[in-house]
Amino acid sequence: MEFYYGRVVLLTGASSGIGKITAEHLAGLGYRVYGTSRKGENGRIVFSDDNSQGFVEIVKLDVCDSRSVKEAVKYIMDKEGRIDVLINNAGFGISGAIEETSEEEAYSQFNTNFFGMHRMCRNVLPIMRKQRKGLIINIGSVAGLFSIPFQTMYSASKYAMECYTEALRMEVRDWGIRAVIIEPGDTRTGFTDNRYYCAESENTAYPKSKSSIKRMEEDERNGANPAGIAKIIGRLLNKKNPPVRITVGMIYKVFVQLKRLFPNRLVELILRKMYA
């Protein structure tokens, strides 16, 4: 197998869900995957009889802590001397009405989903520039294309990732570095059970929020297998010029096209019918 960008992968949020499945899939393809976990213990899982081949090694890292990010990157560099691929997957979701979301809760959402990604890029980009090659994959969401009611802060953080990735591609291209954002739809992972609910939501002034969030969670539990996303990422690692974005799931691809063609009010009406 040809490793176009190289074999060393740094993947955040690897302890569960999309991150865990992706780490295992890439290791099975022969990549040396350093998967990070905020609470996990350091350890290695070998996916080959030859320890020099594919493996997943868990590295403790909190994307909200700049020192933790620096230490984890240094640890990998001390062992490998390079980082070829960065996959920004760490994130979580907040649910609740805008009025009932505190500043602290909103910041917490952005601190992990957006600024966590930024901290990772800032620490890995100097390495990739020196190598004159690298790939950065940001795990966004279709919620970054369609604002979902009562999941506003999550949608906003993923919207921000869209803009960030577009600019990043243009800034780093001269160094042989590529960037792409993947936009999964509803996916069956532990993300649903780990969702955070705004403190004021318990006595909400928005009665429709509860049925809206319930519908959203039902869709997630009946969503796609994350293995499909892992396979897409595996194929991306050998594309010399990956696309700006990849929307996962045919129904979501169709909806993206319809959004471009339909009036905004019609798109809003459809989303209200679905979630509100």
Active-site positions? 154
Interhelix angle 227-236/17-28, nearest 10 degrees? 50
Cα angle 168, 173, 179; round to 5: 45
Does residue 154 contact residue 109 with C-beta atoms inside 8 Å?
Answer: yes
3-state secondary structure of 177: strand
Q: Where are the alpha helices (DSSP H) in the chain?
A: 17-28, 66-80, 103-110, 116-131, 152-172, 208-221, 227-236, 250-261, 264-275
CB atoms within 10 A of CB 69: 21
| Residue type for position 276 | A
Measure the CA–CA gap between 112 and 225, rounded to whole angstroms: 24
What is the token pair recorded at 64? 């909200």
Counted residue by residue, the chain has a size of 276
User: Strands 43-46 and 55-60: what pairing?
Assistant: antiparallel
